[in-house]
Structure 1
Amino acid sequence: MPPSNKHTPASHVPSPDKRGIQNKSKSKHSPLKPEVPAFLLFLRTMSLKALTGKFFPSSLPPADAFAGQRVIVTGGTAGLGLATAIHFLKLGADEVIITARSASSARAEGARQKILAAAGQGADKSTAGRVSIMELDMNSYASCVAFVEAVKERFGAADGPDVIVFNAGVTNSQFRRSPEGMEEIIQVNTLSTTFLALLLVPWMKQQRGQRSSPARVVFVSSGLHMSVDIRPWSTYAEKEGGVLAHYSKEENFEAGLTSPMYNYSKLLLMYALEEVSKMALDQNGEPQIIVTSVCPGPVKTELSRSMQENSILARIAAPIFMNLVGKSPDYGARIYLAGALAEPAAHGKFLRDYLTDPQYASRSAPVLASKEARLMQAQIWKEIREALSSKVPAAREVLLRPATAGAQDARERG
């Protein structure tokens, strides 16, 4: 269970899922942090529960938990996203929509067939239409806008998805610049994910009065956000034009055993999610959409394998570590289901099954609750707003919209 403070910023732990995009290109800029101290920081975010989750998985919800629901899983063609889509279909969802960079690709259709087969359904049956593919390239704001427009058209003005799981993400062993100009890991894991939420959450919020229960929005993060040292970030903000500007430079890309850039992207996302959670509140401060973030812990997926490219030590240690404690995607995806079934009390919280509330509060305090962390959250949100507003008119429209009284009250309480 997440921390008890209702409006404490969400946060997450190692979630090796997502489509593990690797950059094979040569780069002379791959500074390595001291590997062993970094790995010890990583272990500090873990617990005995996390290291034994492979053998003691969380239980599944009732077989009809998602009966009649329509759900979207971004990046659902492999790993945890694929496993999550399978769970949703098995648990009664009327329609499961996954996304792929190319909806007509063999990879996307192969994933659709895997979901149907795993759920005991064949492509020749009428139920085959329950699994659909929509196109989404997280490296492109234009693709994000097109995806949101397609979702709205598909669901109509009086309806909307019951659950959205923002699962798509990347990690790279070397610097790779996105078409939008930002370092790719931060572009996909932080900026594009936040952008999608900014476009979809207000729309879903408007539909609350027509629903018997609130929709759920689930963000996949990583508890590795707890291992980040934010102390240098204030210098980046003061002298380099910002934290995002600092990491958009190839010479500042950091590789290493614990994938520092991935960790940074997840902490940046946690700072953004604090604001997204406020957007989901009504004038009384009650969530009209239940927004949570989740972390499955160590999981064997394409993303976890791609992390092995970060250094020689990673190539040696990561396979050993993952073979010892790495869960299957089936087991790891179960925490996603918890987010998709979360009650209002969980709104804005970070869901994980390996740390108690006091443990999480203590370990995340330096990056989430300390005075320095609160100042940095405000700084990062300012940078994200500016980055999105300067690139996309659709983002400006949402970000310039006045906050509700409820959101303001929540901000004061938080």
Structure 2
Amino acid sequence: MPPSGEHMPLSHIQSQPSASSDKRDNKNKNKNKKSTLKSEVIALLLFTKTMSLKNFTGKFFPSSLPPANAFAGHKVLVTGGTAGLGLAAAIHFHSLGAEEVIITARSASSSRAEDAKKKILAGSGAGKGTAGKVSVMELDMNSYGSCVAFVEAVKGRFGPTGGPDVVVFNAGVTNSQFRRSPEGMEEIIQVNTLSTTLLTLLLIPWMKQQRGQRSAPAHAVFVSSGLHMSVDIKTWAKYIKEEGGVLTHYSKEENFEAGLTSPMYNYSKLMLMYALEEVAKMASDKNGEPQVIVTSVCPGAVKTELSRSMQENSVLARIVAPLYMAMIAKSPDYGARIYLAGALAGPAEHGKFLRDYITDAQYASRSAPVLTSKEARLMQAQVWKEIREALSAKVPAVQETV
């Protein structure tokens, strides 16, 4: 099935294609649509390993909200908080007492950003006891230059005063067709994996340094997806052997995969999980104590616009998705509550994947093929190496952190 709707597509980022690229896009569009019913049924079976009975009850019995003052005095940064789950999370943080909520947009003065600010203030009951500020910072996840400038702006904004209390790395994308980012990579992996990891590598060491100015560790919350459990990494070993790497393989337009479970999105989230293993280590001191508490979260299926693009290339998705969304999908309000859990996590949850639809034992078992098996450990090391090298080649500052 389509990924949970925590991210809005960034198709508007792409420049207008040339006539030759139009022909190439049409050729690949046709190719992408040739996803067979057999392959989609197999994908659906893999998808079921991410499910449990709680998936069917979550929309009716949401997680409880924390106390009304849970984020009193906190400064919270949510990337991509202008719509969907990011916006819902920003509303929650503001209504729960945050001193300031900062969201990001490609243009801080855009109507989209201004509308989001108004919704946060209205949704959290501003003027009825909630006095927190709402601000917008500029960030384009398709550009390394924008990511670097954003990090410098964050550092300048907070100075040596402890930094933000919570950073939610929510911004992301999914597409039904291949789109190449300005940095040369397929856009889904560019945004969800590479740019998110870049922000992390530049922010976490600085946040760690600010620990001495704080009474408790800050929190870094990464929006992942349980769909990382549905990836079959056996094929990745072939790409490494024959093409030199997983990123190299997926940077090629002809290798874009479309279908029922949005494979490219799932791949990007598994790669992010591999990177976050290293980030969690980076955020700890020499004794293993977290100086920044790092968690990844999955809201489950959520009603947003995201699933629509996935149905374009999948016969089965067009049949199943509407029924699935009607039966299972939560509202953004309900889905975003897992973000709050990450933002309130204690040291014991550092490095963990938080979700409310399967138990820890179920997750350990179902994620073993991609996270803890012998093959998975080798793949994690390889993918992390590729991510490191890709980022270091474009952003020299990364070399100082890894």
Q: What TM-score results when the alignment is normalised by the length of structure 1?
A: 0.90
Query: Which residue in the other structure is 1:341 paired with?
Result: 344
Q: Distance in 1 between matches of 2:143 and 2:11?
A: 17
Percent identity over the alignment is: 77
The more displaced of 263-272 and 14-23 is 14-23
The more displaced of 178-187 and 313-322 is 313-322
Query: Which residue in the other structure is 1:402 paired with?
Result: none
Is 1:64 equivalent to 2:69 in the alignment? yes
Q: Distance in 2 between matches of 1:304 and 1:160?
A: 35
Query: Which residue in the other structure is 2:105 paired with?
Result: 100
Q: Distance in 2 between matches of 1:65 and 1:199?
A: 28
Query: Which residue in the other structure is 2:308 paired with?
Result: 305
Q: Deviations over 1:82-105 (max 9, x none)?
A: 000000000000000000111111
The more displaced of 353-362 and 125-134 is 125-134
Q: Deviations over 1:104-149 (max 9, x none)?
A: 1101110110010111126xx9977700000000000000001001
Report the 3-state secondary structure (helix = DSSP H, G, I; strand = E; otherwise coil) of the residue aligned with 1:216: strand
Q: Distance in 2 between matches of 1:129 and 1:46?
A: 38
Report the 3-state secondary structure (helix = DSSP H, G, I; strand = E; otherwise coil) of the residue aligned with 2:199: helix
Once the 2 structures are TM-superposed, how far is the Cα of residue 313 of structure 1 from its aligned partner? Answer: 2.6
Once the 2 structures are TM-superposed, how far is the Cα of residue 395 of structure 1 from its aligned partner? Answer: 1.5
Report the 3-state secondary structure (helix = DSSP H, G, I; strand = E; otherwise coil) of the residue aligned with 2:295: strand
Contact 1:27 1:174 in 2 (8 A): no
Query: Which residue in the other structure is 1:262 paired with?
Result: 265
Q: Distance in 1 between matches of 2:396 and 2:138?
A: 21
Equivalent positions of 1:10-409 (< 5 A) are 14-22=3-11, 26-29=25-28, 30=32, 32=35, 34-121=39-126, 130-399=133-402
Query: Which residue in the other structure is 2:17 paired with?
Result: none
For structure 2, list consecutive stretches of 5 or more residues without a partner in the other structure.
Answer: 15-21
Contact 2:124 2:130 in 1 (8 A): no
The more displaced of 15-24 and 88-97 is 15-24
Contact 2:258 2:310 in 1 (8 A): no
Contact 1:216 1:289 in 2 (8 A): yes
Letter in 2 for 1:277: A
Contact 1:17 1:304 in 2 (8 A): no
Q: Distance in 2 between matches of 1:248 and 1:313?
A: 26
Q: What TM-score results when the alignment is normalised by the length of structure 2?
A: 0.93
Q: Distance in 1 between matches of 2:138 and 2:105?
A: 5
Q: Deviations over 1:220-269 (max 9, x none)?
A: 00000000000011111111010000000000000001100000000000
Contact 1:221 1:294 in 2 (8 A): yes
Letter in 1 for 2:375: E
Q: Deviations over 1:125-182 (max 9, x none)?
A: 9977700000000000000001001100111122200000000000000100000000
For structure 1, list consecutive stretches of 5 or more residues without a partner in the other structure.
Answer: 1-12, 400-414
Q: Distance in 1 between matches of 2:116 and 2:309?
A: 20
Q: How many correspondences in the alignment?
A: 385
CA distance 1:143–1:67, shift in 2 (3 Å): same
User: What is the root-mean-square deviation in Å for CA atoms of aligned residues?
Assistant: 1.7
Q: Distance in 2 between matches of 1:333 and 1:179?
A: 30
Contact 2:3 2:225 in 1 (8 A): yes
The more displaced of 149-158 and 246-255 is 149-158
Q: Distance in 1 between matches of 2:155 and 2:188?
A: 27
Q: Deviations over 1:3-36 (max 9, x none)?
A: xxxxxxxxxx943211223489743221526111
Letter in 1 for 2:46: L
Q: Distance in 1 between matches of 2:132 and 2:96?
A: 16
Report the 3-state secondary structure (helix = DSSP H, G, I; strand = E; otherwise coil) of the residue aligned with 2:356: coil
